[in-house]
């Protein structure tokens, strides 16, 4: 059976998808009765499944996926100032076989604009947005609208990033962005410490435990203890690196989400850059090919959190394409799971998971 076109139209620019998406011609499924709610960092939630920041561009996307039964919804990364997206193409299929690792990614991957995947296992993509953001006067109102579009037992998380600018340190800017998001209605804050698609230090903060810890401490003090705080990190290849990061940010965060893609050089079939323009030499790879690497990071973080006896939850992100993948993540040390690429191609993923859980009497 052929997989349908994604809800996010990868043949259009980010800006077009922001204005015109999501693209969905099916029927919203009936609500499945939920078991007693789980606790998402102290907030009652219908399930442990959500969508990370990538596909949730604005309130239209939040409202759509909330209706589709995804209960943990992360509003795409916002800033204290407007910031444009990279031009199209912003998403490409990537031709891969097997699991991707940082070692494999030392060799460029081939990006192609269109394939006809026969299964979810054939979908690996790259995305290159550059962490765009609307002006706060726009996104704050839209976050407020998003809050009104989610239902009981659903959680609106807002992803924020900071920039060193105009005499303001990156930690101060992160904190200001987080406070603005809380004022707009965010129920939890995610600090985006990892994005391979931007220049400068803001995209790789997780690789500097000292800086990450300082930012987390500042943001925690700024938003208080009543709003859950999450750190989104990238690929961590060793127990030592995982332990250093956990030690630095663990005292200040309620959860760590991992991972935000793998970084790779993408070329077209002719060998030229598939994503032309400065700052796009590398881009994030996500989808089926990164699942093993992502769950490896979750496992390393889990061991380090337990070793330090920290009350920090783990959110598995990366390569979760099917219900079976979600089950694997939740049985591998993660407390919650989020699907981006999987949900883009299969918006019924949460519905299928809840159907299975209802049959099996689970609380996923």
> Is residue 298 included in any domain, yes or no?
yes
Q: Are 233 and 304 in contact (CB under 8 A)?
A: no
> Is residue 22 included in any domain, yes or no?
no
What confidence category does residue 2 fall into, taking pLDDT thresholds of 50, 70 and 90? low
> Is residue 41 included in any domain, yes or no?
no
- 158 membership: H or E segment, kind and range: strand 155-160
Give the chain's mean pLDDT. Answer: 92
336-356 pLDDT, tens per residue? 999 999 999 999 999 999 988
CATH of the domain at 154: 3.20.20.70
Taking the C-alpha atoms of residue 139 and residue 136, their distance in angstroms, rounded to an integer, is 5
Domain that holds residue 136: 49-88+130-262+293-358
93-136 pLDDT, tens per residue? 998 888 998 788 889 999 998 888 889 999 999 999 999 999 99
211 three-state secondary structure: helix
165-175 pLDDT, tens per residue? 888 999 999 99
- pLDDT at position 363 over 80: no
Taking the C-alpha atoms of residue 125 and residue 203, their distance in angstroms, rounded to an integer, is 19
> What pLDDT, on a 0 to 100 scale, did the predictor assign at position 197?
44
> Is residue 227 included in any domain, yes or no?
yes
> Is residue 23 included in any domain, yes or no?
no
CA neighbours within 13 Å on the CB side: how many for 19? Answer: 4
- pLDDT at position 292 over 80: yes
Q: Are 338 and 56 in contact (CB under 8 A)?
A: no
226-261 pLDDT, tens per residue? 999 999 999 999 999 999 999 999 999 999 999 999
Residue 180 DSSP class = H
Q: Which of 49, 51, 170, 195 is catalytic?
A: 195
What confidence category does residue 201 fall into, taking pLDDT thresholds of 50, 70 and 90? low
Burial class (CB in 10 A: 0-12, 13-18, 19+), 249: buried
Residue 203 DSSP class = G
> What pLDDT, on a 0 to 100 scale, did the predictor assign at position 341?
96
- Which residue shows structure tokens 């100032």? 81
- pLDDT at position 294 over 80: yes
If one counts the domains in the chain, the total is: 1
Q: Are 334 and 316 in contact (CB under 8 A)?
A: yes
> Is residue 153 included in any domain, yes or no?
yes
> Is residue 144 included in any domain, yes or no?
yes
> Is residue 42 included in any domain, yes or no?
no
Q: Is residue 91 among the annotated active site residues?
A: no
């Amino acid at each position: 059976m052929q997989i349908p076109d994604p809800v996010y139209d990868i043949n259009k620019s980010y800006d077009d998808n922001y204005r015109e998406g999501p693209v969905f011609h099916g029927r919203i499924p009936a609500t499945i009765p939920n078991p007693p709610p789980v606790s998402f960092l102290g907030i009652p939630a219908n399930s442990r499944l959500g969508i990370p920041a990538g596909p949730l561009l604005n309130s239209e996307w939040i409202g759509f996926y909330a209706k589709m039964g995804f209960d943990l919804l992360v509003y795409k990364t916002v800033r204290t100032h407007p910031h444009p997206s990279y031009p199209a193409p912003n998403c490409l299929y990537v031709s891969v076989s097997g699991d991707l690792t940082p070692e494999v990614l030392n060799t460029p991957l081939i990006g192609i604009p269109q394939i006809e995947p026969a299964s979810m296992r054939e979908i690996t993509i790259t995305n290159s947005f550059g962490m765009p953001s609307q002006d706060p006067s726009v996104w704050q109102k839209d976050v407020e609208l998003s809050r009104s579009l989610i239902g009981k037992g659903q959680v609106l998380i807002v992803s924020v990033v900071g920039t060193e600018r105009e005499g303001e340190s990156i930690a101060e800017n992160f904190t200001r962005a987080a406070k603005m998001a809380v004022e707009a209605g965010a129920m939890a804050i995610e600090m985006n410490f990892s994005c391979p698609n931007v220049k400068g230090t803001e995209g790789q903060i997780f690789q500097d435990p000292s800086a990450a810890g300082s930012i987390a401490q500042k943001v925690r003090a700024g938003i208080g203890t009543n709003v859950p705080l999450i750190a989104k990190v990238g690929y961590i290849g060793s127990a030592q690196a995982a332990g250093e990061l956990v030690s630095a940010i663990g005292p200040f965060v309620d959860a760590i989400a991992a991972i935000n893609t793998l970084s790779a050089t993408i070329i077209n079939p002719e060998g030229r850059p598939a994503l032309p323009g400065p700052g796009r030499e590398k881009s994030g790879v996500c989808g089926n090919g990164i699942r093993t690497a992502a769950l490896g990071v979750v496992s390393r973080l889990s061991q380090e959190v337990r070793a330090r006896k920290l009350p920090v939850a783990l959110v598995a992100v990366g390569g979760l394409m099917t219900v079976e993948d979600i089950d694997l993540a939740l049985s591998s040390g993660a407390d919650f799971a989020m699907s981006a690429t999987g949900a883009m191609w299969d918006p019924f993923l949460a519905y299928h998971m809840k159907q299975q859980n209802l049959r099996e009497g689970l609380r996923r």
